[in-house]
């Protein structure tokens, strides 16, 4: 699938036009959740999140990270 193809955009917009007005808030929520699920944050965003978590004390010892993992 070529994401740059405007035909896909047009098809999506045509489908949206067919949705009854009262269901648009639910569709918008679904579309946002989909987009967030398929896109990855940038390296800068990931680093910033990790840095904020470390600064706020949201850390765990490395030894805990391996608990429950069977590495044989």
Residue ranges of domains in the chain: 6-62
Q: Are 50 and 58 in contact (CB under 8 A)?
A: no
Backbone φ, ψ for residue 66 (5° rounding):
-95, -5
Instruction: Kindly report the pTM of this predicted structure.
Output: 0.51
User: In Å, what is the CA distance from 3 to each residue of 7, 8, 9, 62?
Assistant: 9, 7, 9, 40
Say what the pLDDT of residue 65 is: 82
Q: Running along the chain, 72 residues long, what does each successive block of 10 average in pLDDT?
A: 77 96 97 91 93 93 82 61
User: In Å, what is the CA distance from 46 to each residue of 29, 50, 62?
Assistant: 24, 6, 19
Write down how long the chain is: 72
């Amino acid at each position: 699938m070529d994401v740059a193809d405007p035909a896909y955009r047009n098809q999506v917009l045509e489908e949206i036009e067919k949705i009854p007005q009262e269901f648009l808030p639910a569709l918008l929520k679904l579309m946002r959740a989909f987009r967030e699920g398929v896109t990855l944050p940038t390296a800068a965003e990931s680093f910033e999140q990790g840095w904020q978590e470390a600064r706020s004390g949201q850390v765990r010892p490395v030894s805990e990270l391996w608990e429950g993992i069977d590495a044989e």
